[in-house]
Structure 1
Amino acid sequence: MTFNYPNGKPYSQKKSNIFHEKHKSKIIYGNRGMSLEQEINDSNAYYLENEIAVIHKKPIPIQIVDVDYPKRSAAVIKKAYFKTPSTTDYNGIYRGYYLDFEAKETKNKTSFPLSNFHAHQIKHMKACLKQKGICFTIVRFVLTDELFLMPCNLLFKYWDNQQNERKSIPKSEIQKNSFKINYSLQPRIPYLKYVDLLIKQIEGEENEGTRS
């Protein structure tokens, strides 16, 4: 099956993790047998069921242009286009705050490549931030099975300077300036506990600005 971007260029799996969900579910990280996306989806289902938050995976805008019907009861999509560039993976409401975030994995041991992001995603998160939304990325270092909630300001710092500096965020910087997420049973990834810490940090910075 062939997918193309809105500009007509062919979609490459090497450059994007969109439409990779079905294949990622077969990959085993830390012997859990679930991808990061699956674990976040299950955690979001727990939050919704327990009326803690309403957060969902964003649908991917697709325009189908070629369909094959090998059987009357089956249809196979042969070719499709992204109607518009995708923004971020997840959004929703928690404690009256709008959340908008990405979920990314890397097999790098010492850094997180900025190539995991696209310019339109950074632009989207910056726009959300201007409207007082809370933006972040849940980062998994696959080889060490470590999870972090990385605030958007750290991402922006390295993204905006990548023309003159490095093309990745050092893992040491993520460890220093992010929140390490510890797994639990229910939900599997209790990331909202760390969003609480991020909110507290943001509110503290706003209070400091008011006093000064």
Structure 2
Amino acid sequence: MSFAFGSRFRLLHQPARTISRNLTNDAAPRIGASKHYVRIAGPASYASRCDVLNFLQEQSALPSTSPSVLVQGQADIYQNHSVWLYDAGSQDTAEQVASKISGKVMGLKLIRAAAVDKKIADSMLDPPERGARTRTTLRRRLNLISPSPDERGRSLLATSLPPLLKPRHLWSFFASYDVVDVRLLRKSGVSCIVFTTEAEAERALRERSNISLHGMQTISLKMHD
């Protein structure tokens, strides 16, 4: 593999905590810059991370002129989970990059940001006063999300739910993810959760660690209105 950051790729063989410690300041992703990024949190294998890096390079999603665009491990956030950040540059939208990754990494499933209506998302919540009735609604809504094999035979989530007006509305569902029946989500094949702004992703990673600790993966998309 010929990659922009050269020998640093070998750091992926080391634990994520070591990677984070070895990265220099100029090699760290520039969060807050006007670039789209995709963050994957959860137990990802070494092979999966290599697939993502290779694929992004093949698609020119990682600019060869920007060796500072790198993967940053933040293993301290979780006990046994790593957080990897892929800065895709400005030539691809965040959704395009997420689509590429979801089709490339085996077992990664994606709920697309433009596929959940705010009212439907709100109905998926499970406040105590609604209890089993809301769980039934959640199950009914998730039944609309069916696995659809892509050209490589891997399962990718497709949905017939109405599009939403603003991608950020997806947060109305996941802001209260801790009161949603995780077993229903997993039984429905949902292994990846989408956040649509940097602030929402940071809040989720900070306050909703049960998302990763339950074996779920999260993707955050930095969107520009």
- Structure 2 length-normalised TM: 0.26
Larger RCO: 1 or 2 (CA < 8 Å, sep 6+): 2
**Larger relative helix fraction:** 2
Q: Which has the larger radius of gyration?
A: 1
